[in-house]
Structures are given as C-alpha cells and as structure tokens.
A and B are shown apart, each in its own frame.
Chain A
Amino acid sequence: MDWQSWLIGTVSRALAFGTPLLWGTLGEIYTERAGVVNLGVEGMMILGAFSAFAVAQTTGHPGLGVLIAAVVGGAAAVLHAFLTVTLRANQYVSGLALSLFGLGLAGLLGRGWEGIPLRQPLPNVTIPGLSRIPVLGPMLFQGQSVLTYAGLFLAVVLWVLLYRTRWGISVRSVGESPSTADALGVNVFLVRYLCVGFGGLLAGVAGGFLSVAYRPAWTEGMTAGMGWIVIALTIFAAWDPLQAVWGAFLFGGLYHLSFRLQEFVAPELLKLMPYAFAILVLALTGLGKARRRWGAPGALGLPYTRGER
C-alpha cells in the first residue's frame, strides 16, 4: 500500500470517526458555556444510538431515526437540567447517574436487536466536482456521511451564534456570571435548560450517527467511552466550537489508527491510545503559560441561587 492511499484512507476515516465526537463536543460546549457540566454524554449517546437504530429499523427511515435520537438525547439532558438547575443537585453525580442509567437502559432494551444489520442505513454522499480534486477529493468529499458535513456546518453556525449574536452574549454571561446575567433580566434558568437540552440533542445525534450511519447495527456498549472523550475534548477545544472541529477529527484519526496499526501492535494496546492521549493532551494544556488561554467558564459546575453572591 503506497503512502498516498494510506493517507487518503486515514484522513477520510478520521472524518467519519470524528463525526460523533464533533457532534457530542459541540453539544457539551454549549452545555458548559451556560455553566453546567453534563457527564451524561456517554449515556445520552448510547440512548441515542439505540433509539436511532430501533426507529430506523422499524420504519425504514434512518433520518427519522436520527431525529428521534436527538429527541431522546435532549429529553435525557432535560432530566439532568431539572436535577442540577432546578433542584441544584451536584452536577458530576447527576451526570454520572445519567450515564449509568443510559448504559443500563440501552443495554436492557437493546437485547433483542443485537447483531442485526440495519436494513436502510443513512446514505453517504459524494460531492460532485469537489470529489474529483486529486488527493483532497477522495480524502474529504467522497463517501462521507451527511452528518459529517452537517457537523462542520453546525460548528460554524454555533461559533457565530456564540460570539456574534445577542443570544451568544447571554449564554456566555450565564456561564461566566449568572448573578450578573440575572440582574440584567436574562432568565438564567431558561438559558441553562435550553443549552443543556440542546447539548443532549446533539449527543443524541452523535449516538444515532454510530448506529445508523457509521456502523449500521446495534451492539451493546457501542459508544465505547466516546462520551467521556467528548468531555475531555470540550476542555481541549477551550469551549470554542471551531476548535472542537480539529480536536474531534484528531481523535477520530486516533481511533482509526488504533485499527490501522493492528499489524504492528497488539490491538488492545492500540485501543487504549485515545484515552491515554486524552490525558496527555489535558496535561499539556495544563502546562505553564498555555493555561491562561484555556479559561473555563467562571461559573462552571456551580448551581445558581438567586440572592447569593
């Protein structure tokens, strides 16, 4: 195999692998920008994956499957919002509960669906014209899922929303200083509910992508810790939707390499690579001067109560 086709294959698959990471990370970025940590991404993703598969298989419409996955993920996230925003429960514990619950429920419901190939997966697209560019064409524009391109487009939209609109100012302010936002008439609770719910929506899509597009089948535990990688990527991307793009595709590439390199290294050791790399990356961002640029939202993880300073 020559290096060129090797590179094309790697980048092309990195995009595919990175797509669920991108959707998940974009969602978590909005969640955390509003000041809420949701460790339930793994649970929301797996619920999304299962519901997308179940709906796509019964109706024959993979798009509907993804839509339902979004709704399910969003609903799960609203539960998290209710516990952490309204009841002011500990965000870490609530997110963990959501992950435990999601993994359990998806495993429970998915028992009968295991191992069946999806009859109608989400089609891949090839962009006419662009795909004929040498090297870049097959790398980027051939046989990718619609959701990959949608994710990229979404990243740009979300960036503009966050930094260039009235809403963006409200969202960021709620995450930095909820009491200030509240004093100026921004409904902190509403913003948090919306952002957390939206985050869940995207996590659901991320899961749906796995089961109706990437590997059109349902297997228990098919998210395989991607939800946790998403949490790490959110920090790595410095809570910036555009930076999430290359972070997600970098890790997508890493996941892909853990298959590609199996002829040289034991597969089990390759599989631990993304997790080790996630720690490494966070450690590097924590080093020295780089840290100052990576400012977390000021009120991240703190429940908001009126009248407290």
Chain B
Amino acid sequence: MLANDRVTLELRAGEVHALLGENGAGKTTLMNILYGLYRPDSGEILIRGVPTQIHSPRDAIAHGIGMVHQHFKLVFPHTVAENVALGLKRTPFWAPIRVVERKLRELSERYGLPVDPGSRVWELSAGEQQRVEILKALYRGAEILILDEPTSVLTPQEATELFKVLLRMKAEGHVVVFITHKLGEVMEVADRVTVMRRGRAVGTVAVAGTDKAELARMMVGREVVFRLSKGKCMPGEEALLVQDLWARNDRGLHAVRGVSLRVCRGEILGIAGVAGNGQRELVETITGLRRAERGRVVVLGRDLTNRSARAVADVGVAHIPEERLRMGIVPGMAVEDNLILKRHHRPPFSWGPFLRLREVRRFAQESIVGYDIMTPAARAPAKLLSGGNIQKLILARELSGEPGLIVAAHPTYGLDVGATEQVRRYLLGGREKGVGVLLVSEDLEEIMELSDRIAVMFRGEIMGVVPAAEANLEEIGLMMAGERRLAPQP
C-alpha cells in the first residue's frame, strides 16, 4: 500500500511545526522515514540544504533528529538513567550511569522536565515517561524533535505543561514536529501546520493565518464536521451495577479503588481518563478476566462478582477488548473460527463435546454479509484482515448473542474514518435497542459525542459522573488530572 505519495515537507529552525491529519493519513509513516525506520521508495531528505541518507535511527540521531513515538520506546524494567544511557557512545565504559545522571539533572532543569534519574520507568506515570523520551532525545543533541501524538496519554493540564516545554525548546532554536489529529492543539502551540490526507500533503499554512474550520476542511476533504445523530436517552432498568469495586493490577497494586457505577439499559456511559488510571483493570474485572478483591458486579440483575469470563459472557455481556489483535481475535485461526470464539461451547455451535461445523459455516456467512467484513474467504486466517475489518469481526461476534450490556474499550482506536463511523453506529444502534453500553476511551471527543453520561477515572477512582449535555471540557480535564472531585451520585 502506498502510505506516502509525493510528500514535500519543509521545516524551519526555531518553529513548532504541526503535522495534522486523520488516522491513517500517513503522518507517522512520513516521520518514520525521516527517522530512518522505513526506507522511502523515492525522494530525498535535505538537512541544512545537504542531501542526507538516513538508513537507520542511528543515522537520524547522528544528524540531530530525535523522535518520541506514540508507544514509548523505553525499557520499562530499567531506570531512567539506564534508558538514557542506552546506546550512548560518549559515556565512560565503567559506571556510565553516574555521568548520565549528572547531565540529566542539568537538562531537566534547563527545559523544565522534572524526573528522577534513579527511578524505574515502569513506576512512572505516562506523562513522566514522555519526559524521559524527550530527555533521551535532547541528551543526544536532537535539533529536530518529532513528537507522535504526544497528548494522547496526557490530561489537558499535562498537555499544557508539555506545550510550555515545546515553546522553551523553540526558543533554544530546536525544530519541533508535532503529529496530531486534534485541531485545538495545532491552534494552541504550532507556528505552521502541514495537513496530510490519504498519504498526500494537502498544504502547509501558517497557523496565524488560518482557523479551525479551514484546517478541518483540509484534513477531512469535505466541509462537514461529522456529528452522529443520537436519540434521546431512555433509562430503563440497570444493565450494569458496580458497587465499591477494588482490584489489583498485574504488579499487585490497587488499580481499581472503590469504583461504583451504574449503566442503564439504552444508555451509553462513557469513561474518560488518561490511560493507565485503572480503566483496563475495571473493564477486566467487570468481564470476569480479573479478580475483584472487594465489591460487587451485577449484570442484568445477576450478581457476577468473580465469576468466570465464560459465565459473564453467557449472561449476555459483549466485550470489545482494548487490544483487538492480542485478545479480540486468534490471528492464526480462520475468520469463521473467530466468529464463534465466545459461543463455541453452546448450541447451535456445539452438540455435546462436538462442534457443528455446518452451523459454524452458516453463521460465518451471515456475519460476513451482515457486517460487511472484507475477507478473502471464511476459512482465511483472521490476521489477513485490516484493522477495521477485524473490529467488524469482533462486533459481529459480540453483538450476535443479543447482549444486554456492551463493554467497549477504545473501540475506534487506530481505525480510519470510515471504520470509526461504522463502529460508532453499531454502538449507538445497540443503545437504541435498549442495550447498556460502557464505553472506555482516551478520545475525549468520542466520549463527548457518544455518551449519555460521562464518568471520569483517575488513579482507580471515579472522580465524578456528569450528564454529557452539561459537561464542559475544562471540568472534565480537571477531574482527569485528579484536581476536582464531584460528590458521588446517589
């Protein structure tokens, strides 16, 4: 597939340059080429007017290019200093850490990036880990710093802090490339912006001479900013009731701390929050994948606390998992096998210990047609499918059992515009039919658009629940940062 089509990008010293575009527009691919991770088929890179070959990240670093990936490239069990020292040639062979720690403190000071060099990376918050990444690049003398979707792991307040750092770097003469799909951030921090769409650079404009509407038009290629139509919420009986739930994460620390929630039938409850504040553990505890230490989970009137994942699914809970490739499908197995993953043990797909292959095939055909899953064949391995089609496969499977509750974790993460729209429609469709939906997402816009009510999670606690109609961004941001807490609802 062509990910970048004849793109020209010019960066000036001492500017923050935003690279704006939808998911799949080719922004990250372009930057990976600049950083030497991918090889371009044609075209050239000039640094200070000199044609330069960048074959590897090592070349890129040598030319003063640094990159902070969306998924941090850190060695999590190691300390901050060890992470910075990794691959450095100019440190002493013996005890390099001492030297690195000293210089690290200087850099922290100079750019306003506080972080303790001796702490282990896995102990840090996402925001701190991001600082480590930036320090790593600065330590290596990065003149050009590429940040890929840097705010996706930050609270609005943390994002503001980051922007201050970027301005300081600009003042020191660095070039900052800021990859994003959020218009507001472009307006707030960038000097110039290059908009990408379907692998092409649509244009580069100065931020001062443009506005959100123009950028949106350039980005999407049409005038409208799409809004899904949402019917009125009719709360019926409870689809999900969570009371004082406590659970630990994989490291044995409390990640869910006394969460209480209710989701009515025909309602979407959105859970906003920065990643890593216990959302994953909450979802896993509700769906039977993690032990609850304390508290209750009641689904459709039945107490399912600490019942098995199978029991929870059998009661009618659909789960659209966060990591769809790792959890949601079995990549090596056929599409038709994947479609019965959670129901293979029940009629009509099984009879005693045997599988009824004819029923499996019939159901696969129905689902492929009904959900418009693009696959070469029902017997083709699921790993051949594109991200959007994998998500459709999961939806087809999860929604087929007439669920009473849908637990959806980051259901549109990484999907292109079309697939995102489709996924959202299915969630809203479920809501129309009276299904309760628990929606966890990092994308605040998505939460605002889809939810009837919004709950904000911070460090394993619910900071408050507000009706979406009354929610404002600043208040939610403060709750995401743990700065404000609303009185619990009755």
Contact = CB atoms under 8 A, between A and B. Distances in A.
Is B one of A's binding partners? yes
B44 to A, nearest CB: 21
Tell me whether chain A's interface is mostly helix, strand or loop, or mixed. Answer: helix
Given A166-B96, A182-B57, A292 B252 contact: yes
Nearest to B73: A180
A1 interface: no
- How many chain A residues sit at the interface, stated as a range, is 20 to 34
Interface residues of B, number: 28
A169 B71 contact: no
A167 interface: yes
Given A173-B78, A180-B74, A185 B56 contact: yes
B73 A295 contact: no
Contacts of B252: 289, 292
B87 interface: yes
Contact of A183 (B73, B85, B91, B95): B73
Contacts, number: 73
A170 B87 contact: yes
Contacts of A38: none
Contacts of A309: 71
B58 A173 contact: no
A184 interface: yes
B381 to A, nearest CB: 17
Given A177-B76, A292-B252, A184 B61 contact: yes
A307 interface: yes
A205 to B, nearest CB: 25
A181 B75 CA distance: 8
Contact of B77 (A181, A184, A295): A295
Interface string B454-483: 000000000000000000000000000000
A301 interface: no
Interface in A139-178: 164-167, 169-170, 172-173, 176-177
Contacts of A295: 77
A184 B38 CA distance: 15
Given A173-B78, A177-B73, A165 B37 contact: no
Closest 6 CB pairs of A and B: A184-B87, A185-B58, A180-B73, A185-B87, A183-B57, A176-B75
Interface of B: 37-38, 56-58, 61, 71, 73-78, 82, 85-88, 91-97, 136, 251-252
Given A176-B76, A181-B75, A181-B87, 10 more contacts: A166-B85, A166-B91, A167-B93, A173-B75, A176-B77, A180-B74, A180-B75, A181-B86, A185-B57, A298-B75
